[in-house]
Structure 1
Amino acid sequence: MPAEASAPQTTPTTPHENEGSSTNAPLSLTDAAAPETPFRTYVEDILDALAADPDRELLVHGDRRLTAGQFHDLVHRTAHAMAAQGIERGTTVTLLSGNLPEAIAARYAANLAGCRVNHLYNKLSADVQANIVRDVETRALIVDPRLADRAAELIELAPVPTVLTLGEAKREIGRDVLALGAEQPAEPFAPRALPEDICTIRHTGGTTGHPKGIVTTFEQYNRMRAMMHAAQEQEYKPKQLVCTTIAHAAGMLADVMFLSGGSVVLHDDFDPAEALATVEREGITHLFLLPPLVYQLMDHPDSERRDLSSLRALTYGGCQSSPARIADAVRRFGKVLVQFYGQNEAGGISVLPAEEHDPDNPERLRSAGKILPGVEVAIRDTDGKDLPAGELGEICVRSAGTMTGYWKQPELTAEVLRDGWLHTGDVGFVDEENYITVVDRIKDMIVVVGGHVYTTELEDLLNSHPKVLQSAVFGVRDADNMEQVYAAVVAVPDSGAEAEELRAAVREKRGAMYEPAHITFVDALPLTDAGKPDKKLLRQQAEQAQAA
């Protein structure tokens, strides 16, 4: 990464200067050097690509197969139906949905109308989801019929003006937007979004009180999608298997496939046997998984007998991976693994391509690859000084993918975005060959499958339990180098506190993502000289117990 040891590490780019706004109307990011052409959203580009080849198979979900033409019409009809319900530009549409084709169509329709879209993670508790629904000022809640019961809980906790369902639901919670759309014309819906309008508000995980929403404008989303499209291996009719939530990276990967002339097969969740069978049956060329899911795929016995020769790119990212396990995956699947490093706040940062996945070179597999074109990276110390190659510091990023700010959190935005640079909170270094390695997080955040666990939030929750006096939460890596949530708890004497009781309370209040894998009861928390809980010592003790 570093072109010079003491200078910010860059690739050729014309970066914009982010000024750290987190208000409801983000600052315009229009580049003064941009060509004077009419603004087009990513949705318009995708719809044009679909209209150009209406007979191609676009989406597969279960037994259903939708052509590009059918999906094109579905988006426009849905947009007309939403507008007829009073859903206007600049309002928030929140999606509560699994991996349905109609959910993607609803996102496109809402963005076409100039609405900002927030897609809830389904594994969060109802209370946390309700906090988000309220916080982003939801105008319309659009619901997967399979989640009607959860939607009813949310409506009770956080009433919204309009509730629509993506098909007929088993209980009366709102009008069927697909039925409403069927009454609308399929003629193109006139796009209403402006470049500086908010396109998405994406949350990093469930938070208490005031959720942490990442704001991206339409202009930024266009740039991010263009970067991913440029990096996408171009081949005849690529086909992506999506078996992680479309509320996260998989949604943008679907966008890239549609624009590339490819298709998408949607699974409701990850199941290694079904994923392997689908790769063989559908001729899947592209697949994205978090590292722990890659390991499940590799370890499943079907991975040895299924024909996976169609696979061209098995991309992994989202949390740190185990070089040894990735080497095993390369030996099993061949040189098709691609590591992607990025953040919701920063966008894409670096890629380690398939040809550089050498199972006999664990040091290279430990890196996150080289910086992406159009991205600037600097490694800085605590004083903000740029560091030379090989020295550890905070990874700071500037690119078209950098967020506008956190929704309604100007202080946090100002802390993270400084002089146009996004301070990632990751500690890492770059070597003389321009490879970036992520070593750790500055804060105590624990990265788990499905999102992030913030230790202070979980501590607050545990401490609020009537049988708990004090707690300390920390991450411990397992044999696959994946973090597990550990908690050391000081219980109220003679209260009879039990680990499963506390886990159940966490599941109820925050969802399964926050549930500790291990809870240890201690008489007192060890403290540092400053009087803080000594999490380093607690982690060492847990690792020793794990090894034993």
Structure 2
Amino acid sequence: MPSAPFPLPDDHKQSAAPSHAPYESYVEHLLAVLGRHPERPAVATQDGTSVLAGRLRDSILQVAAGLTALGIRRGQTVTLLTGNRPEALAVRYAANLLGARVVFLSHGQATAVHAAILDSTGTALLVLDPELRTAAAALLRTTGVPLVRTLGPTGDNEDAFGGNLMKDAAHHRPRPLRGRAHPKDDWCIRHTGGTTGIPKGIRMAHGPYRDLLIRSAAALSPDERPRLLACTPLAHMAGILTDIALLAGGSVVMHDSFDPARVLAALSEERITDLWLLPALLYDLLDHPHLAETDTSTLRRIVYGGTPVASSRLAQAQAAFGPVLHGSYGQTEAGCITELLPGEHGRVRDAAEAAPHGSSRVSVGRPAAGVRIEIRDPAGHVLPTGATGEIHVRTPMMMSGYWRRPELTAEVLNDGWIRTGDIGHQDAEDYLYLVGRVQETVIVVGGHIYPADVEDVLFTHPGIAQCAVFGVPDGQGTEQLHVAVVPASAGQPVSLPHDVREFIIQRRGAMYTPTAVHLVDHIPLTGVGKPDKNRLREVLGLTGEAAGSGVRGTGVTSP
């Protein structure tokens, strides 16, 4: 869900380069910033390695020369299967400088999915992380990419992975290079985090992305130098935040994965100012025993989004971290749609807690600069304020379309508007409220249920730390409602499942009675950090055509 993580100026319309001037991509702007103060630290890694700004700049230019020597040209595809490493950044920037598009492979996807993406995107070069040798070897057995290179030494079998790209690049001089990208070229094809089938490829153009980064960096005060902790994959929001932080003259601390203890330690030891988290990861920080002793005084922004957040947990976060929370709602197809600034959190939280039926719905904020929102019915008619329907948007960061899927592009992108697939409504002050996803609606006897409605209620239960609500076909044309909960304490009484059922019924009504309540140790997440409800169904044995039939009462299961 790419978004605008820092405050943006009111004028957020895409700017066009003057016709007499050559187009400069975001990479050229970044190279200029890195060259102004080459001795300042730019990137630090979890093991304590530090990369100076001048060294990062030189590395980008050297890799660009190395890619050119390999035959990489504008319009080709460079695909990366890597972790959070400075070398991966250098390769991405170098490829974009040459006008090549970049594709990221998610660690959580199967080898067959990776192979299909490589084939679909016509990958000219596959770049592999030496720490992912097992996954890389499996992938190379199933696909025939023209060129393969690694980001570092792989031991005795280095030749099996095509050689070390960074070692070869070091032989080139870091000569200045004029970028070859055009504004409408793809800088990236970002694939959806789907857990079934082949993910959709979303084309993202250079021009809008450059404008987003430059405007976001410029919106910071001149003396502010953000220090970002990137503890989620650089292929997603952490990568966008990294670009903005570096363009603003700041620095980035990279962790190879999210670990709440390590994140809390880094907040104080590394004097972190900026952090991006999905709500589930924010909850992990709030529940960690080290939080109370962690110095978070340098934090300026915790940007959260990706899934709805519960008001009770939002209140905990405000108490723990102070007025630094920045809510963001968006989609890869549309970019940032709405923002909820720190000063607005108290208002929307209080409104949510005062809502009837024990709802804890929290607004995702108001339209970001340059964004228009319409709520429409299934026939496409615009609905009045307060009515619930599908959210349609126009934004400065809209995708160019789905990669090689014109029919799907026409379904989602029509007349300059994106169909988000999200259900919601706006109030009289333009605050947007999400109800659920069109595709996740659970059709039960008596009506339609949006899982987010039930999850909102569950998060107000004192015995629940995390939860996920999903439907399972019953073989009769309707579905059964299933609830998975992580108890707030390992010593929760056995009566918790029964309590959960009654809690839902009292606050939502009999139609919302779950067929089963599953006690689980954790909620599995997709590769991009969202609750993986398909995985939950698999682990709980609920994936058959009529997997829910015959299951009655309260189930107590742990994956």
Same fold (TM over 0.5): yes
Deviation at 1:133, TM superposition (A): 1.4
Aligned counterpart, 1:41 = 25
1:200-349 equivalences in 2 (<5 Å): 200-206=188-194, 210-229=198-217, 235-349=223-337
Aligned residues of 2:214 and 2:247 also touching (Cα < 8 A) = no
For the aligned residue pairs, the C-alpha RMSD in angstroms reads: 3.3
SS in structure 1 of the partner of residue 540 of structure 2: strand
More displaced 10-residue stretch of structure 1: 248-257 or 210-219? 210-219
Aligned residues of 2:388 and 2:425 also touching (Cα < 8 A) = yes
1:337-376 equivalences in 2 (<5 Å): 337-358=325-346, 361=350, 363=352, 366-376=362-372
Alignment: residue pair count: 469
The C-alpha deviation readout for 1:24-77, integer Å capped at 9, x for no partner, is: xxxxxx96x967532110111111100111111100002200110000000000
Deviation at 1:189, TM superposition (A): 2.5
SS in structure 1 of the partner of residue 290 of structure 2: helix
Aligned counterpart, 1:494 = none
SS in structure 1 of the partner of residue 333 of structure 2: coil
Aligned counterpart, 1:451 = none
Aligned counterpart, 2:536 = 516
1:19-58 equivalences in 2 (<5 Å): 37-58=21-42
Aligned counterpart, 2:120 = 135
User: Structure 1 pair 15/76, CA: closer, same or farther in 2 (3 Å)?
Assistant: closer
1:412 aligns with 2:408: yes
The C-alpha deviation readout for 1:269-326, integer Å capped at 9, x for no partner, is: 0111110110100110000000010011111111100111111111100111111111
Deviation at 1:156, TM superposition (A): 1.4
User: Structure 1 pair 380/524, CA: closer, same or farther in 2 (3 Å)?
Assistant: closer
Aligned residues of 1:164 and 1:177 also touching (Cα < 8 A) = yes
Cα distance in structure 1, aligned partners of 2:543 and 2:176: 64
Aligned residues of 2:43 and 2:86 also touching (Cα < 8 A) = yes
Aligned residues of 1:112 and 1:192 also touching (Cα < 8 A) = yes
Deviation at 1:331, TM superposition (A): 1.1
* Partner amino acid, structure 1, of 2:535: E
User: Structure 1 pair 486/154, CA: closer, same or farther in 2 (3 Å)?
Assistant: farther
1:441 aligns with 2:437: yes
User: Structure 1 pair 188/379, CA: closer, same or farther in 2 (3 Å)?
Assistant: same
Aligned counterpart, 1:82 = 67
Deviation at 1:119, TM superposition (A): 0.8
Q: Which runs of 5+ in 2 are unaligned?
A: 1-8, 354-360, 443-450, 459-463, 476-517, 519-525
Deviation at 1:229, TM superposition (A): 3.2
SS in structure 2 of the partner of residue 157 of structure 1: coil
Deviation at 1:377, TM superposition (A): 1.4
Aligned residues of 1:128 and 1:207 also touching (Cα < 8 A) = no
User: Structure 1 pair 50/390, CA: closer, same or farther in 2 (3 Å)?
Assistant: same
1:118-197 equivalences in 2 (<5 Å): 118-170=103-155, 171-172=157-158, 173-197=161-185
| Identity level (%) | 39
SS in structure 2 of the partner of residue 516 of structure 1: helix
TM-score (normalised: structure 1): 0.79
The C-alpha deviation readout for 1:469-492, integer Å capped at 9, x for no partner, is: xxxxx99846456536675699xx
Aligned residues of 1:320 and 1:482 also touching (Cα < 8 A) = no
Cα distance in structure 2, aligned partners of 1:177 and 1:522: 43
User: Structure 1 pair 93/394, CA: closer, same or farther in 2 (3 Å)?
Assistant: same
SS in structure 2 of the partner of residue 361 of structure 1: helix
Aligned residues of 2:279 and 2:309 also touching (Cα < 8 A) = yes
TM-score (normalised: structure 2): 0.77
Cα distance in structure 2, aligned partners of 1:275 and 1:523: 39
Q: Which runs of 5+ in 1 are unaligned?
A: 1-10, 17-29, 447-473, 491-498, 500-506, 527-532
The C-alpha deviation readout for 1:412-437, integer Å capped at 9, x for no partner, is: 00000111100101111111111111
Aligned counterpart, 2:102 = 117
**Higher RCO (CA < 8 A, seq sep 6+):** 1
Cα distance in structure 1, aligned partners of 2:366 and 2:351: 16
Cα distance in structure 2, aligned partners of 1:210 and 1:238: 37
Cα distance in structure 2, aligned partners of 1:522 and 1:136: 31
The C-alpha deviation readout for 1:121-143, integer Å capped at 9, x for no partner, is: 11111111111111111110011
